[in-house]
Amino acid sequence: MDASDQLPTLSTEQPRTPPRISRANQIAEALVLAALIAAPALVCLHMALVGDPDVWWHMRTAQWIIDHRAIPHADPFSRIAGTPWQAYSWLFDLIVLKCFERLGLAGLVAYSTALVVAIAAAIYHLIRRLQPDFSLAVLLALIASLSLMRLFTPRPWLFTILFFTLQLDILLHVRRTGKSKELLWLPILYVLWANTHIQFIDGLVVLALTLGESILARWWTLARTRSSAVWLGGIFIACILATFLNPYGIGIYKIAYGLASQAGALKFIAEMHALEFRSPADFCMLFLALIATATLAWRAVQPQQNASSNPRPFPLFEALLLAFAAVVSFRTGRDMWVMVIAASAILAQSIGGDETKRNPAAVFTVPVTAAALAVILFLGSRALRVNNNVLETQLADHFPVRAVEAVRNNGYSGPIFNNFDWGGYLIWSLRMPVSVDGRADFYGDKRLSRSFSTWNGAPDWAYNPDLQSANLVIGPVDAPLTQLLRTDPHFQLVYEDKLATVFTRRHQ
């Protein structure tokens, strides 16, 4: 029987005292831990992603909040301004704007790097509490952290990955030990979660699975857990009430339902597509999922001695967690983190390890790790030349920076017709109402479909009402619509570079 099968049952054996390790070995482990956490952070610095299309409307929302000292309930940025809209990530918006105001574009990279550091540390802590072997824990945490590299962008989903990992860490620890007081952290976590990202719903689903297991364990002997159904029930209610502490109250659940039921976004938006497995990180996620599935299957069917007197517990919670992760992660690529975290936790508690190797952390481990990590990241940022000059050049490769300058210098006015990917940047840089941007839930499937089909040069492109009423068109130089507008008598080309074009309407 492996170590994971013994977790839910009480043991009468006296734990063996782990051998003391030398100060040199403790320092070595602290340095290894610093390198582990630094690895994904250095990847984030190397990527230095400031070309994210959504961060710009998030920052513009934060500016609106500061200027009006209120949270918006109607859209102020689009050509359908006044339509009901909820800025459900308002706390993230403020955080990322402050990073930008203090450090410029480097602030966006700093935000992503800081959250990646926190996520890597949380993943290690989750795995280490389940896996006594330090080397195995480090290896598994490294694989999990690097598997998430496609998500190292300045988005609120980094908060969700962090909070989900912290919650799973708490829940698995309570299931193992029965120390329910640690659950008291969860309502506090949900207050933050519900104001930074809408995917706190994923966390509530996992919390409900834990509660369901604890209730079922009262009648089904194969479902074993040390967690208290009474405690979990109370905490579950407290967490739901905590999510109401947001500017939209219980309406936040209506927003979540609208996002989950929007089918058009899955079709049109690249990050919402299923994984195509074109990168090593994607295959790492698949590898973790397959090994975790095989491990659970083996635990469920392998024979054991004295099965009648002490039957092996069925890994119910782990199986439900893995099934939930599969549904979420294989549906949309940007949610692959659910499988990475869930599979890593299952493997950490399923791989046998010697408990005598579980050495308590030395008092100086955290400061030594933090100091070494700070040095590594400082030197890494210098070596990778993460500065505003380089980032501004990178920004101009992704967004119509020079086209926006031309519009300003020549005093061109809207209404604007623009493509989906640049809408957020135009909200930020031009302060003009846009025809569409990254808020897919706000625009709805019909409007999104019409925008994408028009930019793709569909036969009815000229009948798009937003295009017909536009005085200004800003779009990619290689878009099919751009080629059509070059010969359209209603528009004239007034600016072009290697990335973007600007058309204005001819007034007769």
CA dihedral 374, 380, 385, 391 (to 10 degrees): -70
182 inside domain: yes
d(CA 272, CA 62): 25
Could you tell me if 350 and 403 lie in one domain? no
Could you tell me if 105 and 240 lie in one domain? yes
Its domain, for residue 461, covers: 399-505
Measured in whole angstroms, how far is the alpha carbon of residue 264 from the centre of its chain? 21
The pLDDT of residue 320 is: 93
Of 316, 350, 381, which residue sits at a domain end? 381
Determine if residue 72 is left, alpha or beta; phi over 0 gives left, psi from -120 to 50 gives alpha, anything else beta. beta
Question: Which of 138-142, 148-152, 269-273, 353-357 has the least mean pLDDT?
Answer: 353-357
Q: 297: pLDDT confidence band, cut at 50, 70 and 90?
A: confident
Could you tell me if 416 and 375 lie in one domain? no
Strand order of the β-sheet with 500-505 is 416-418, 472-476, 500-505, 491-496
Could you tell me if 457 and 339 lie in one domain? no
Could you tell me if 293 and 442 lie in one domain? no
Percent pLDDT > 70 in the chain is 89
78 inside domain: no
Q: Both tokens of residue 98?
A: 């402050």
- Look at residue 414 and tell me whether its pLDDT is greater than 90: no
Helix (H) or strand (E) holding 289: helix 280-301
232 inside domain: yes
Could you tell me if 143 and 24 lie in one domain? yes
37 Cβ contact list (under 8 Å, min separation 6): 117, 120, 121, 124, 145, 369, 373
Identify the residue with better confidence: 305 or 92: 92
d(CA 274, CA 260): 15
Could you tell me if 154 and 35 lie in one domain? yes
How does the average pLDDT of the chain come out, rounded?
89
**8-12, 29-33, 194-198, range with greatest mean pLDDT:** 194-198
The pLDDT of residue 16 is: 53
Q: Which of 360, 290, 345, 359 is nearest to 4 (CA)?
A: 345
**134-148, 254-268, 343-357, range with greatest mean pLDDT:** 134-148
Could you tell me if 420 and 321 lie in one domain? no
415 cis-preceded (ω within 30 degrees of 0): yes
- Look at residue 15 and tell me whether its pLDDT is greater than 90: no
Q: Count of domains in the chain?
A: 2
Q: 7: pLDDT confidence band, cut at 50, 70 and 90?
A: very low
